[in-house]
Amino acid sequence: MPMVPHRLVCRIGTGALTALVACACGDDTDLDPAVPRNVAVQVSLNVPTVVSVSWATDQASTGYVEYGPTPDMASSTPMQPLGSRHRATLLGLPAAAVDYYRVVTWMGHNAGASAQGTVQTGTLPLALPTFTAQGTDQTQLIVTSLVGQSTVAVLNPFGQVVWALNDAKGLDVYRALPSIDGASMLYNVVGAPGAPADNSALVRAALDGSSEVVLPYPRLGIDFVERADGTLAAIAVDERDFQGTLRRGDKIVEFAPDGTTTDVWSTWDCFDPATVPGGAVPPAWTTANALDFVESEQAYYVGLRDLGSIVKVDRATRACQWVLGTAGATLAFAEGAEPFSQPSQFHVFNSGGKPHVLLFDGNGVGGVPRVLEYELDVTQQTATMVLNLPAPAGLAGAVLGEPQRISGATFVNWSAGHMQRFDRDGLPLWQLSADGVVFGYYTMVDNLYSGPVRAPSGTP
């Protein structure tokens, strides 16, 4: 689209943020039709770290919002769809802070921009603990829960809470994660490990806290995942009669986007209480406490605390492809490999052409938690230990720990108010701590959006 005549064009910004804007030579009637008008900001009443920015243009355009704690505005929202009225959401802002923002609009390569403004976020209406962060090399946001407070919290690398929501349904939250479509926060409300609740549910809450969708399901476990197509999969109790006594197994139940539920696997498919007794006090038996799904393999990975095992499940056949651990195991520990007894969360990944399992052992040695890593040889049915990382002193008793391998580094949620990032040699690079806190499971994300958050490649 050609530029309107008699318009002075200015270049604002540097690098990827450079944009052409129309410079005013009189009143507003002289501005290019792409320039945003009626720019308004609103701080969410429910989650006061969330800010919405709305604007209009005289002709249909696309656009986004640059924002940040300094005039450089290093962050940006995803590009909005073509239209003349727009609304974008600023995410990842700390509470009670002043941030800068500017709307940038696009019609082909003709660009307009609003004046730079400021907005102050509100104060979180929650009795949240104080988090202390030290070190470097942590750049991502941490989405987690505060167990015992029924609260979902998102922390930035500086230990600031940038999103928080308290659930008042009377249960607790053990897992939270941003939805794949970027429109909501997903979390579970369930009973404590080993104490399933009949009124448990999965919850999909709008990021501004204005609405929620509740998916009730009785006796859910403490973990769930979202698959690439939006299907949710969660652990749930599968209790059956065994020789006249109820034994509490577990199953995986999927919640399709249309709301239907399907059982896709059960511990009863692969294990027999007669030969793999598990929990010592009936009805306890398997007590699943961790779940993952790998799309490329179409396989679930399930942690079974009372069996001391992790199992790989083929979703299509319900078959257990391998079991690593101390009960019902199909993989043997290689010479010198220490077994684990009370697994929590884990991370399965490939390295050097072989699968690796990085797991949190809550019992450890002498009750001290630790992170263990095994290299699996599925053909030879062996597991070789390649990492043994003990918890820092004073963290005994953690039961919800979770490790991940991220770009060669090892990130560990020790659960008991402590998270750390280690380099390839096991030396600590960064840590986050808070007194009296029990972290639930976590998800690491670059930002809370689903789409790209920088200017398009066609930026002039």
Average pLDDT over residues 151-174: 96
pLDDT, mean of residues 236-253: 96
Which amino acid type is present at position 151?
T
Token pair recorded at residue 38 = 């009626």
Closest C-alpha among 433, 441, 446, 395 to residue 135: 433
Mean pLDDT of 167-194: 95
Mean pLDDT computed over every residue of the chain: 89
- % residues pLDDT > 70 (the chain): 91
- Residues with Cβ < 8 Å from 379, sequence gap 6 or more? none
pTM value is 0.89
Alpha carbon 456 to its chain's center: 26
Residue 32 pLDDT > 80: no
pLDDT at 282: 87
Alpha carbon distance 19, 15 (integer Å): 9
pLDDT band at residue 453 using 50, 70 and 90 as cut-offs: confident
Query: Token digits for 122?
Result: 């509100």
Q: Inform me whether the pLDDT recorded for 450 exceeds 90.
A: no
Residues in a beta bridge with 301: 292, 312
Ramachandran region, residue 137 (left: φ > 0; alpha: ψ -120 to 50; beta: rest):
left
What percentage of the chain exceeds 90 in pLDDT? Answer: 78
Which pair of structure tokens corresponds to residue 187? 């979390």
Residue 367: predicted pLDDT? 79
Tell me the pLDDT tens digit for each residue of 252-275: 999 999 989 999 999 999 999 999
Mean pLDDT along residues 140-161: 96
Residues 28-45 have a mean pLDDT of: 79
pLDDT at res. 267: 98
Give the pLDDT confidence score for residue 451 in this predicted structure: 79
Q: Which residue has the tokens 């998270």?
A: 419
Q: Which amino acid is at 425?
A: D
What three-state secondary structure class fits 102? strand
Choice between 3 and 307, residue whose per-residue pLDDT is larger: 307
- pLDDT over threshold 90, residue 240: yes
How far apart, in whole angstroms, are the C-alpha atoms of residue 359 and residue 402?
7
Cα 449 to Cα 106, 242, 289, distances in angstroms: 20, 47, 28
Q: Using CA atoms, how far apart are residues 445 and 116, in angstroms rounded to an integer?
A: 28
- pLDDT category at 454 given cuts 50, 70, 90 is low
Which residue stretches of 10-136 are H helix? none
CA 95, CA 405: separation in Å to the nearest integer?
30
Cis peptide before 129 (omega within 30 of 0): no
Residues 370-429 have pLDDT tens digits of: 999 999 999 999 999 999 999 888 776 667 899 999 989 999 999 889 999 999 888 999
Q: Which residue has the tokens 């689903």?
A: 450
C-alpha–C-alpha distance, residues 112 and 58, integer Å: 11
Distance between CA 77 and CA 63 in Å, rounded?
Answer: 9
- C-alpha span between 304 and 326 (Å, rounded): 10
Residue 13: pLDDT band (50, 70, 90) is very low
Confidence of residue 279 (pLDDT cuts 50, 70, 90): confident
Task: For residue 26, name the pLDDT band (cuts at 50, 70, 90).
Answer: very low
**What pLDDT sits at residue 126?**
75
Domains recognised in the chain with CATH numbers: 8-120 (2.60.40.10), 132-445 (2.130.10.10)
pLDDT, residue 14, reads 33
pLDDT in tens, 335-375: 999 999 889 999 999 999 999 999 999 887 777 899 999 99
